[in-house]
């Protein structure tokens, strides 16, 4: 049995709890929430993980595994200290690693604690193939993301185009993954994940589109190198509890947990 501490219990965390609640090999016995944040999580915990204790931090706790489902700030506050104490961690908010020095800090913390931090694939697929292709040598990785115009509200795209008036797809950003993460931090997870598996933030090319012709989040990846080439297109359905989150993100967390708790993993 794997004893799990979960950071956060929003849409992603609640979705994970629901999917693993009948799995005897996976037990979430601790949930880390900031004071005053319990209201939305109470229902999910009572229904899917009544055995879980809610704590404000992991001081004094030593679970078998920490899984981050809380957003970028939780990496600084909880993941780094847990790694230094020797507790393995999984990170869903990979976009946080776009911050200068964060990758190195995670690596240093994991080495200090003689443990490992695993970055989850989240809303994108093909990460295993991309990481394998890097071994032989990658020449280029291009990520193109398309979302409905309304999904870009509250971002720099509003200053570039009239999102309400779009009748055809409009490119709102073209550059590298590092620049994309700085301008669109809430949309950085996919580009950051591809970058860390492949060519890095500065060499991974990114194009972002506001597209009135799509109703889903569309991810397209094209990679070329010594292995040959591949193209991947994914049309992600949103999580019912939070339209800004991909349902596949929840499933990727559950898959990673199942692989840790099983005798056979793939």
Task: Tell me what pLDDT residue 76 has.
Answer: 95
pLDDT at 237 over 90: no
Distance CA 82, CA 57 (A): 10
Which of 68, 87, 119 is at the close of a domain?
A: 119
- Specify binding-site residues for NAD(+): 123, 189
Out of 48, 72, 78, 219, the active site residue is 219
Domain that holds residue 188: 127-239
- How many distinct structural domains can be found in the chain? 2
Residue 266 lies in a domain: no
Residue 256 lies in a domain: no
Distance CA 56, CA 40 (A): 15
Q: How many Cα atoms occupy the beta-carbon half-sphere of 236 within 13 Å? A: 27
- What number is the average pLDDT over the span 140-147? 96
pTM: predicted TM-score of the whole model, two decimal places:
0.90
Tens of pLDDT, residues 82-93 = 999 999 999 999
| pLDDT confidence tier of residue 4, bands split at 50, 70 and 90 | very high
Distance CA 170, CA 109 (A): 42
pLDDT at 101 over 70: yes
Residue 220 among the catalytic residues: no
Same domain, 179 and 95: no
Tens of pLDDT, residues 32-87 = 998 877 666 777 898 999 999 999 999 989 999 999 999 889 999 999 999 999 99
Nearest to 31 by CA among 2, 51, 11, 47: 51
Nearest to 27 by CA among 255, 239, 249, 258: 258
- What number is the average pLDDT over the span 242-261? 89
- Specify binding-site residues: 123, 189
Same domain, 156 and 215: yes
């Amino acid at each position: 049995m794997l004893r799990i501490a979960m950071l956060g219990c929003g849409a992603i965390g609640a979705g994970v709890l629901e999917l693993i609640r009948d799995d005897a090999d996976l037990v979430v016995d601790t949930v880390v929430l900031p004071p005053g944040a319990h209201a939305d999580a109470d229902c999910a915990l009572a229904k899917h993980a009544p055995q879980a204790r809610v704590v404000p931090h992991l001081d004094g706790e030593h679970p078998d595994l920490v899984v981050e489902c809380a957003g970028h700030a939780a990496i600084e506050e909880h993941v780094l200290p847990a790694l230094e104490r020797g507790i393995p961690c999984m990170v869903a908010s990979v976009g946080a690693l776009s911050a200068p020095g964060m990758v190195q800090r995670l690596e240093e913390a994991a080495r200090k604690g003689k443990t490992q931090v695993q970055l989850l694939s989240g809303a994108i697929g093909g990460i295993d193939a991309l990481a394998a292709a890097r071994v032989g040598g990658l020449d280029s990785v291009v990520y193109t993301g398309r979302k409905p115009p309304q999904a870009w509200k509250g971002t720099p795209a509003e200053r570039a185009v009239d999102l309400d008036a779009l009748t055809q797809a409009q490119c709102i950003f073209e550059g590298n993954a590092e620049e994309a993460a700085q301008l669109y931090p809430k949309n950085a997870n996919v580009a950051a994940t591809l970058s860390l598996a492949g060519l890095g933030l500065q060499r991974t090319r990114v194009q972002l589109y506001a597209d009135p012709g799509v109703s889903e989040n569309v991810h397209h990846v094209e990679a070329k190198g010594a292995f040959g080439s591949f193209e991947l297109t994914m049309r992600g359905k949103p999580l019912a509890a939070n339209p800004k989150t991909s349902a596949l993100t929840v499933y990727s967390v559950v898959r990673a947990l199942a692989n840790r708790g099983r005798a056979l993993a793939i």
